[in-house]
Amino acid sequence: MGFWEWKMKILKSKENKIAVTVGLFIAIIHALWAIVVALGVGQTYLDWIFPLHFVDSMYGVMDFSIMNAALLIVTTFVAGYLATWLFIGLMKIMKVRK
């Protein structure tokens, strides 16, 4: 099996579809957060949600930056994708040793 055949097999695999789904889910959640910050209500949300968890807010929301928002979304997608692959790999190892 050549490189391209191997690559296509990976891209069509169930593991890849699961990893993309998890990565997209996490990226969408962070995209929503970026929208909340862009609308200027991020700090208001934190001031409301932290006391509900019995946490004193020591954080402040910075001004919106489109570059930071893009980096946040891309980074969380990649992290979610890779973490899912790692989790699936560990599950396969544990299943094989069983």
pLDDT of residue 67 exceeding 80, the answer is yes
Q: Please check the confidence at residue 68 and state whether its pLDDT lies above 80.
A: yes
Buried (b) or exposed (e) across 60-82, using 16+ Cβ within 10 A?
A: ebeeeeeeebeebbeebbeebbe
State pLDDT tens for residues 16-62. 889 999 999 999 999 999 999 999 999 999 999 999 999 998 889 99
In a domain, 35, yes or no: yes
> Which residues span the domain enclosing 57?
13-97
Evaluate whether residue 46 is within a structural domain: yes
| Residue 68 falls inside a structural domain | yes
Does 7 reside within a domain?
Answer: no
User: Considering the domain boundaries, does residue 1 fall inside one?
Assistant: no
Is 54 a member of any domain? Answer: yes
Residue 86: burial class (beta carbons within 10 Å; 0-12, 13-18, 19+): exposed
Give me the number of domains the chain comprises: 1
Least confident of 4-8, 46-50, 92-96: 4-8
Q: Is residue 3 part of a domain?
A: no
Taking 80 as the threshold, does the pLDDT of residue 9 lie above it?
no
Residue showing tokens 């094989």: 96
Cα–Cα distances (Å) from 9 to 3, 16, 17, 46, 92, in that order, read: 10, 10, 12, 44, 18
Q: What is the mean pLDDT of the chain?
A: 89
